[in-house]
């Protein structure tokens, strides 16, 4: 198995081809979700009209109702702002754990190398986003899609900054915007020396935090959700197939006021037969999702703010069996 200066150009070409193809799939997914949301919004207008007509028939003063709704929204928006101002800064400015990651990575990689594993650093990373204009862009190559979507190839593939947040300014039964969850991917590359079965393990360090705020009550139905999911694939000539792992974070709460830090080193494995002499791209991709329902509810999943929050691909271990 080799990764030399002569193979870098081959791997880079294959990485860009794969990224272009996968971005088209990502964008197609956004368009499907938007179509579903637009359809729900269309029906919601009729439902809202019917609700108001019913309330009016019962003697409800709609002008008073609208004033109370606006007042409630202003109050809850102010409470959310005060909550974030009080509790979020400590998660943003917390000390980084990069030194510990570096030591652990050095020990693990040396041990694996002694045991005959090929240890590879990340070759390239990418970030796909549904709204490029609203996403803080890392230095590196960028490009835009047919809609507001776009992609980023960070200059440093071993440091990925990504986040998502959702705030609901509507009643709980109204349609909420279609999901445009950002997606990150880290890619490793090599050329097998022999046709054989290969066991591959990618190790990634996750440093971030999530925020959940919702105040469900007797007359309300509010919720906030954060979710982090990861898949892994191997490509030689074509994709062998995505392998899904249990969600790393999966929280949905109807009553919560919390800011929780998340620091984990995770291992993702994949085993398949590879042919000698042709390039292989191993991809670990993840989706960062945060959403909220009901006015004043809020969700955020952040691997971006400050200097301590990021996703760091450490290395890929490859063993021929």
Q: How far apart are CA 93 and CA 88, in angstroms?
A: 9
First to last CA, the chain: 13
- 71: CB partners within 8 A, 6+ apart: none
pLDDT value at residue 170 = 55
Q: Give per-residue pLDDT as tens, 169-217.
A: 655 555 454 457 899 999 999 999 999 999 999 999 999 999 999 876 5
Q: Which residues of the chain have pLDDT under 50?
A: 175, 177-178, 218-219
Sign of the dihedral defined by the CA atoms of residues 289, 291, 297, 298, in that order: positive
pTM reported for the whole predicted model: 0.87
pLDDT value at residue 61 = 84
Q: Give per-residue pLDDT as tens, 43-89.
A: 777 777 887 788 888 888 888 877 877 777 787 788 889 999 999 99
H/E segment holding residue 104: helix 98-114
Domain boundaries, the chain: 5-320
Q: Look up tokens 């917390």; give the residue.
A: 94
């Amino acid at each position: 198995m080799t990764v030399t200066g002569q193979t870098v150009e081959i791997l880079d070409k294959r990485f860009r081809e794969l990224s272009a193809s996968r971005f088209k799939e990502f964008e197609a997914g956004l368009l499907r979700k938007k179509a579903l949301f637009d359809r729900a919004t269309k029906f919601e207008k009729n439902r809202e009209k019917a609700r108001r007509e019913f309330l009016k028939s019962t003697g409800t003063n709609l002008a008073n109702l609208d004033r109370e709704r606006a007042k409630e929204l202003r109050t809850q928006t102010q409470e959310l702002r005060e909550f974030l101002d009080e509790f979020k800064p400590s998660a943003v400015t917390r000390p980084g754990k990069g030194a510990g990651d570096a030591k652990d990575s050095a020990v693990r990689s040396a041990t694996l190398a002694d045991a005959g594993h090929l240890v590879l650093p990340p070759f390239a990373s990418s970030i796909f986003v549904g709204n490029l204009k609203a996403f803080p862009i890392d230095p590196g190559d960028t490009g835009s899609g047919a809609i507001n979507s776009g992609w980023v190839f960070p200059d440093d593939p071993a440091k990925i900054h990504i986040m998502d947040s959702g705030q609901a300014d509507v009643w709980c039964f109204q349609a909420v915007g279609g999901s445009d969850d950002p997606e990150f991917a880290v890619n490793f590359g090599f050329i097998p020396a022999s046709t054989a079965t290969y066991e591959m393990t990618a190790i990634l360090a996750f440093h971030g935090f999530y925020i959940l705020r919702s105040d469900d009550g007797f007359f309300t139905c509010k919720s906030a959700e954060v979710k982090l999911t990861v898949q892994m694939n191997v490509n030689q000539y074509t994709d062998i197939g995505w392998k899904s792992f249990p969600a790393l974070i999966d929280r949905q709460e109807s009553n919560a006021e919390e800011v929780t830090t998340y620091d984990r080193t995770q291992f993702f494995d994949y085993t398949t037969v590879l042919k000698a002499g042709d390039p292989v791209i191993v991809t670990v991709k993840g989706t960062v999702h945060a959403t909220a329902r009901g006015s004043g509810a809020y969700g955020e999943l952040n691997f971006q703010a400050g200097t301590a929050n990021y996703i760091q691909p450490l290395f890929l271990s490859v063993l021929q069996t």
